[in-house]
Amino acid sequence: MSTPTQVSTPNGTLDIQLDQGRHYRAKLGFVLLATEQTIEDDAMRLCPAGVGMHFSRIDIPDSITVESLTQAANGLTDAARLILPDGSLDVVSYACTSGSLVVGEDRVFAALNAGQPQAKATSLITGVIRALHAFKAKKIVIGTPYVDAINDMEVDYLTARGFDVMAIHGLNIKADSDMVRVTPEFIYDFGKAIDQPDADAVFMSCGALRTLDVVDALEQSLGKPVICSNQAMVWDMLRLADIGDSLNGFGRLFREH
């Protein structure tokens, strides 16, 4: 169906004027868990002018376990398809650290591209890996809110990708609705407490955590890169969309890479 070019009014005919819209630089799509409460706010804080952030969700109970994350991944394709079905989306990501590593990146990419074949597919754990590579970090320590079974899978996944996971420390929280309530002040103290002198970087894992609020201060305190999930994901998606803007206040990743 063709777009009308004119409209008739009581005072004559007007030519309809169209431009590229508000999101003329890039359109980014995020598939969230139904329980997620942090990522949308963080993405909008990291959104440069001219870039659109668009969201969809997949069904999951308020319990983050290996089993619930595995089941939830069955909804990725349908959720991705709902984001801008006109085909204008540039990048699409599964916005869940634990979910993307439990399922695996290859399956995530295939599911997302089944719903958005024209978009570049990525995932939150992919963004984290790329961010760590940007700093040439090999030895890392990790802080998470997860239960032990997910932590064990995270260690195995990142070890298989070539990282030396010196330690992982989890809070053993199951409910996503509790993960979002962990205070930024505690996250800051947690990050300082788990750091090791020989670690190249600290990774604070989980999009539900409000680590973005303290990542800059934590880096300054530790004197090394700190990667957090939402920072790494949005950075990765922007760079995939050829948006190279530098942002201040959200860690070295956005200032240096």
> Domains plus CATH for the chain?
26-126+232-247 (3.40.50.12500), 127-228 (3.40.50.1860)
Position of tokens 């002040």? 185
pLDDT digits (tens, 9 = 90+) for 172-208: 999 999 999 999 999 999 999 999 999 999 999 999 9
The pTM assigned to this predicted structure is 0.96
CA distance 91 to 138: 27
Cβ 114 vs Cβ 106: under 8 Å? no
pLDDT digits (tens, 9 = 90+) for 154-170: 999 999 999 999 999 99
DSSP-assigned beta bridge partners for residue 93: 30, 122
CA distance 243 to 256: 14
Mean pLDDT over each residue of the chain, to the nearest integer:
97
pLDDT digits (tens, 9 = 90+) for 49-81: 999 999 999 999 999 999 999 999 999 999 999
Question: Sign of the C-alpha dihedral, residues 77, 81, 87, 92?
Answer: negative
Percent of the chain at pLDDT > 70 equals: 100
DSSP-assigned beta bridge partners for residue 9: 12
Alpha helices, DSSP H only, in the chain?
39-45, 66-72, 76-81, 97-103, 105-115, 124-134, 148-160, 176-179, 184-194, 215-222, 229-240, 252-256
pLDDT digits (tens, 9 = 90+) for 235-256: 999 999 999 999 999 999 999 9
Q: How far, CA to CA in Å, does 174 sit from each of 15, 64, 140, 159, 181?
A: 56, 5, 24, 24, 12
Per-residue confidence band for 1, with pLDDT thresholds at 50, 70 and 90 = low
